[in-house]
Amino acid sequence: MEDKIKICVVLGSIREGRFGERPAKWIADELKNWEGIEVELVDLKDYPMPFFDSPTSPSMMGKKYQNEMVQKWSAKVDGADAFIIVSPEYNHGYSSVLKNALDWLSPEWSKKAVGFVSYGSASGARAIEQLREVAIELNLVPIRKSVHIPWDFIMKTWSNKDISNAELFTPLRKSMGPDHLADFVNDLVWTAKALKEARKKGQ
Ligand SMILES: Cc1cc2nc3c(=O)[nH]c(=O)nc-3n(C[C@H](O)[C@H](O)[C@H](O)COP(=O)(O)O)c2cc1C
């Protein structure tokens, strides 16, 4: 039987009343129905790590960390084949909690696929472009497609807290082609499978 591709949907905003919880939950719920995928919503709120202060680079530490929370984070990332990173855009960049979580690890990210989701006045485009550069340095493999959520979706949530995630986001699936979410996930899974096979062969 073919191994399932394990995808972590990483929620990169930890602030009170965050919008990010909406798209992260929506995508994780959608992925639960996808064949061949095992999905987990990973909330950085559950991984309160110190600001990166390691005397040694994580690329030289062989996954051996002193801090218990970093050990827990390392195990979570290590067990995944691919990531969907959901990030807010703060001051034209991605969130600092996300950068900290990325910097704490190194080999755990290596040769794995990543796709990005963001939102904001420029649909999170600036945050995602910055994330791509950092991902490449971590030896992650970013896919071309991403999910960009326009500002009016955030506003709809503020003005109507009762709106369900499906009501809010289903129109987005059609807004960038026949089914943008499916295209995004299929590309991520394709890349994740190819990388998993290659990792198994030790390539
Ligand atoms: C400190 C801060 C900086 C922000 N900077 C930007 C920005 O540069 N571009 C943008 O589109 N939205 C910006 N916003 C608005 C956010 O997109 C909006 O608050 C969004 O809800 C943040 O995501 P979160 O609620 O998941 O944390 C900023 C918000 C905050 C709190």
| Closest C-alpha to 74, from 87, 62, 57 | 62
- Would the CB of 153 count as within 6 Å of ligand 1? no
Ligand 1 midpoint to CA 102 (Å): 20
- Would the CB of 120 count as within 6 Å of ligand 1? yes
Quote the pLDDT of residue 1: 57
- Would the CB of 94 count as within 6 Å of ligand 1? no
Strands (E), 141-190: 141-142, 147-150
Does the domain at 5-200 match CATH 3.90.650.10? Answer given as no
Quote the pLDDT of residue 3: 85
Residue type, 60: M
The band of 178, judged by pLDDT with boundaries at 50, 70 and 90, is confident
Full DSSP string of 30-93? HHTTSTTEEEEEEEGGG--PPPS--SS-GGGTTT--SSHHHHHHHHHHHT-SEEEEEE--BTTB
145, pLDDT greater than 90: yes
Quote the pLDDT of residue 2: 67
The residues spanned by each domain of the chain are 5-200
Query: What is the overall mean pLDDT for the chain?
Result: 95
Show the tokens assigned to 143: 């896919």
pLDDT in tens, 13-54: 999 999 999 999 999 999 998 999 999 999 999 999 999 999
3-state secondary structure of 154: helix
Atom nearest to 91 CA in ligand 1: 8
> Can you say how many angstroms the Cα of residue 7 is from the centroid of all Cα atoms in its chain?
9
98, pLDDT greater than 70: yes
Strands (E), 123-187: 141-142, 147-150
Ligand 1 midpoint to CA 89 (Å): 5
Atom nearest to 21 CA in ligand 1: 26
Atom nearest to 121 CA in ligand 1: 11
58, pLDDT greater than 80: yes
Q: What is the mean pLDDT of residues 79-102?
A: 98
3-state secondary structure of 199: helix
Whole-model pTM: value is 0.97
